[in-house]
Chain A
Amino acid sequence: MRGTRQLLALVLVLGVAGLAAVPAGAQTMVGVTATEIKIGNTNPYSGPASAYGTIGKVIGAYFKKVNDEGGVNGRKINYITYDDGYSPPKTVEMVRKLVEQDQVAALFQTLGTPPNSAIHKYMNQQKVPHLFVATGATKWNDPQNFPWTMGFQPNYQTEGRVYAAHVLKNHPGAKIGILYQNDDYGKDYLKGFEDGLGDANKKMVVLKQSYEVTDPTIDSQIVNLKNSGANVFFNITIPKFAVQAIKKVHDIGWKPTHYLNNVSSSLATVLKPAGLEASKDLITALYMKEVTDPQWRNDKGFTDWVAFMKKYYPEGALDDQSNAYGYNVAILMTQVLKQCGNDLSRENIMRQAANVKNLELPLLLPGIKVNTSPTDFAPIEQEQLAKFNGEKWDLFGELFDAFRKN
C-alpha cells in the first residue's frame, strides 16, 4: 500500500481537471452562443449494436453540410456524439457528460430502447430536450408524464393500428389469429392492433398465441392458429421466429391473409431464409423509401441523398437503410432549430419540436408528413402497406393514418 502518495497525486490531478470542467451558472439558454448551438448524441459505435452506429455518423455529416451552407439562423451546429456501446450505464455516463459538462442545448437521436430508458427520467428531471429518439417503443409519446422526451419513427402501436384499419376495411368478417412475442415489444403491437379494431376486436380475433423469446420453436402455435379456423394472421415476431412462422404456415398449407410486422420485413434476414415462394403475398407496413428499391432511382429525394452521401459521407454505404434514416431525422432536427429563430432556450426548442406541421422529409414515402403537437409526441403516424411479390415489396393502396379515419 505504498502507492498511497501516487494515488493521492492522481486523485488531486483528476480533481483539478474536474474543477476546471465545472461550468459557470446555467442561463436560460444553455449550449447556445451567438455563433453556435450544441447538440448532443450517443450512438453504439462499438459493441453488439454497432451496425446502427452509422446513423450517428450520417447525422454528423448532414450537420456539416448545414454548417457549410451557413448554419441555422447564422449559428453553426456543434454536434457532439459519444460512443455508448449500447450499454445503458455507459449511456447514462455519456449523457451526463453531455448535459452537465459539455452543456448541450438538447439531446438528439440517442439510440436504442434500453439506453434511452436509462436516461428517460434524468432528462425530464433536468428539463433538457430529449428529441427524436431512435427506438420504436411507444413510451416516448407521453407528453403528460415526460414532456421533454419525443420519439421519431412510427411506433409499434401505430403500426398495429395500421394493420387493423386495413383488416376492417378489406376483410370486415375475418377471423383473426395472432402470434406475438410475450414482452413489451409484442404487447405494444398487440395493443395497437386491438385498439385499432375497437369494438370488432372481441368478435374478430378467434385465437391469440404467444411465445417466449427463449423458446426454440413456435410450430405448435402455428398449428393451433390454423386449427382455430382463422383466415387472417397477424404475425408479431422478431426475424428468427418470423422465418419459422412463414415456413410453417406454408408447409402445413394454411393460406391466411398474412400480416408481418415491419420489424421482420428484411429481405436478407427473413424472407430469403424463409423461402421467397413461401413469402409471397405477405403484407407489411413501410414508411420510408427503401434505398435499394429501383422505383426510387430517379426520385429527387433519393438522388439528393446520393449526392449528399458522396460529398459528405463517402465511406457510408448506399445500400444501408440506416443512412437514409439518419438523413431524414437530421433534416427534421434542423427544421426544429430553424423554427426556433433566435430563441434557442430549451423551453422553446421543446415548443418548436411539438409544433412541426406537415413537414415532408425526402426519404419518407410520398405523402407522409411529420406532424407534432403539445399532446402528440409521435412525429410519424402514417404508413403504407406493401405486398411481397416474390422479389421485393410492392407498395399498394393509400396511406394509412393510425389516428385519423381513412
Chain B
Amino acid sequence: MSGRPLPRAVGLLALVLAACTLPFVLSNFRLFQFSQVYIYAIAILGLNLLTGYNGQFSLGHGAFYAIGAYASAIMMDRWNIGYGWTLPVAGVLCLIVGFLFGLPALRLEGLYLALATFSLALAVPQILKYFEHWTGGSQGIVLSKPNAPFGLPLNPDQWLYFVTLAVLVLLFWLGANLLRGRMGRAIVAIRDNHIAAEAMGINAALYKSLVFGVSAAYTGVAGALSASVIAYVAPDSFNVFLSVTLLIGSVIGGLASIAGAVFGALFIQFVPNWAQDISKAAPWAIFGVFLIGFMYLMPFGIAGGIRLLWTRATRSRVEPEGRSAVPTQAHTTT
C-alpha cells in the first residue's frame, strides 16, 4: 500500500468524480444496483477491519446489518426522523452492541468465535419477530423513499445514490486514517502476534473489543442505508445467508484491504445475477464455479491479485520495498 501520495490522491479523486457522473448516464435500475454495491462495500469494509486487519472471524455481521436497518426503519416509521439522522444513531447503536458482544467473545478464538457470531446471525431474525410492536413482526415495516432536498432536480434513485456514495467516501476515509495511525498498527500487531503485541504494551482486550464495535458500526450504517434504498425491512431480508454473503465479499475482494471491500461488493452484487443469466437451472453451481475460480486465480482476493499484477508490471521500474504485504496477511487470516 506504499506509494507516491500525489498520484494516488489524483486517482482517487478521478474515481470519485467518475462515480458522480454515473447518475446522469445510467438508468435508475443500474443506479439502484450501484447504491447497493456501495452499501455492501461499507458493510464489507467493517468486516475487513475485524477479520482482515484484526484477525477475528465473524459469521454474524448480517445481524449488525439488520440491527442498523431496523434502528433506522423504526426511527423513520415511528418518530418521523429524517433518514440522514438515523445513520449516525444506527452506527452508534451497533458500536455499543458490537463492543458488548466483543467483550465475552474475547475468550473465543478463530473458529469458536466464528460459531459464536454465527449464533447471532441465526438469532436476530427471530428476535426481531418477538418485538412485533416495534418491528412489525414477520410482515416488516414499509418505508417511503426519501426525495432529494432543497428542490434538487434529482429523482429518489439519483439522490440515494449520491447519499450512499457520500457515506461510502466518508467512511472509507475514516477507515483508512484509522488504519494508518497508531491504532491501525496496534490492530494489525494483535493479529500478527498476539503475545508480542501485548508485550509491547498494547491492551489487546480493549483493542479487540473496540475493533468489534467499530466493525459492527460500519455494518450497521450500511444496514441503515439499505433500509432507505430498499424502502422495506423484514426479518427475511436478513437471513443467515446475508452474513455468509458478506464474508464471501470480504474474502473475494481481499481481506486486509480497503479497496478490496469495493471489489467484494461488486462481486456479491453482480456475480449471482450473471450466474442466473448463464444458467437458470443451477445458478448457485455457476456461482460456486466463479467462487472457486476467483480463489484459485487470486488467492489474496481481487485487490491482492491486482496489486500483484501491478507489482509485476512495474518491477522493472520500481523495486518493491521489502517483502510484499500480501502473503503474510493471507497466512494469518486463514
Contact = CB atoms under 8 A, between A and B. Distances in A.
Interface of A: 1-8, 10-12, 14-15, 18-19, 21-23, 45-48, 81-83, 85-89, 92-93, 96-97, 100-101, 112-115, 117-118, 120-122, 137, 182-184, 212-214
A3 B259 contact: yes
Contacts of B284: 46
A82 B275 CA distance: 11
Contacts of B306: 2-3, 6
B198 interface: no
Interface in B302-334: 302-303, 306-307, 310
A113 B259 contact: no
A100 B234 contact: no
Interface in B224-246: 226, 230-237, 239, 241-242
B72 to A, nearest CB: 14
B8 interface: yes
Contacts of A97: 29
Interface string B269-293: 0100000100010011000000000
A41 to B, nearest CB: 12
B126 interface: yes
Contacts of B202: none
Given A2-B3, A7-B15, A117 B239 contact: no
B277 to A, nearest CB: 10
B254 to A, nearest CB: 9
What 8 A-B pairs have minimum CB-CB distances, sorted nearest first? A18-B30, A3-B306, A4-B11, A118-B232, A100-B29, A114-B234, A18-B26, A22-B27
Contact of B32 (A6, A45, A96): A96
Given A6-B306, A18-B30, A213-B129, A88 B15 contact: no
Nearest to B172: A1
B230 A183 contact: no
A89 B234 CA distance: 9
B275 to A, nearest CB: 10
B232 A212 contact: no
A121 B259 CA distance: 36
19 contacts: A3-B263, A3-B302, A3-B303, A3-B306, A3-B310, A6-B306, A47-B239, A82-B276, A87-B241, A88-B232, A89-B36, A89-B230, A89-B232, A97-B29, A114-B237, A117-B139, A118-B230, A118-B231, A183-B132
Contact of B241 (A22, A85, A93, A100): A85
Contacts of A182: 132
Interface in B124-152: 126, 129-130, 132, 137-140, 142, 144
A92 B232 contact: yes
Given A18-B26, A93-B32, A117-B142, 9 more contacts: A1-B8, A1-B258, A2-B307, A3-B263, A88-B236, A89-B230, A92-B230, A101-B29, A118-B142
A100 B276 CA distance: 18
A186 to B, nearest CB: 10
B262 interface: yes
Contact of A88 (B12, B26, B30, B140): B140
B178 interface: no
A211 B140 CA distance: 19
B18 interface: yes
Contacts of A120: 142
Contact of A19 (B15, B25, B132): B25
B139 A114 contact: yes
Contacts of B111: none
A100 B26 CA distance: 12
Secondary structure at the A interface, as helix, strand, loop or mixed, is: helix
A83 B36 CA distance: 18
Nearest to B13: A4
Nearest to B36: A93
Contact of A7 (B232, B239, B262): B262
B196 interface: no
B234 A5 contact: no
B295 interface: no
Contacts, number: 148
B266 interface: yes
Interface in B192-234: 226, 230-234
Contacts of B15: 4, 7-8, 11
Contacts of B132: 182-183, 212
Nearest to B275: A83
B198 to A, nearest CB: 31
B154 interface: no
B283 A46 contact: yes
A46 B279 CA distance: 13
Contact of A10 (B33, B233, B266): B266
Nearest to B69: A89
Contacts of A10: 266
B29 A96 contact: yes
B234 A183 contact: no
Given A83-B276, A86-B236, A214 B130 contact: yes
Contacts of A3: 259, 263, 302-303, 306-307, 310
B14 interface: yes
A100 B3 contact: no
Interface in B1-26: 1, 3, 8, 11-12, 14-15, 18-19, 22, 25-26
Nearest to B33: A93
Contacts of A137: 139
Contacts of B26: 15, 18-19, 22
Contacts of B3: 1-2
Nearest to B302: A3
Nearest to A44: B236
B130 A1 contact: no
A1 B137 contact: no
Contacts of A213: 129, 137-138
Contacts of A85: 241
A15 B22 CA distance: 7
Contact of A184 (B14, B19, B137): B137
Given A100-B29, A114-B140, A121 B231 contact: yes
A117 B232 contact: yes
Interface centre among A10, A114, A182 (most CB of B within 10 A): A114
B11 to A, nearest CB: 4
A19 B15 CA distance: 19
B36 to A, nearest CB: 7
A118 B232 CA distance: 5
Contact of B139 (A12, A45, A48, A183): A183
A243 to B, nearest CB: 19
Contacts of A6: 306
Contacts of B231: 92, 118, 121-122
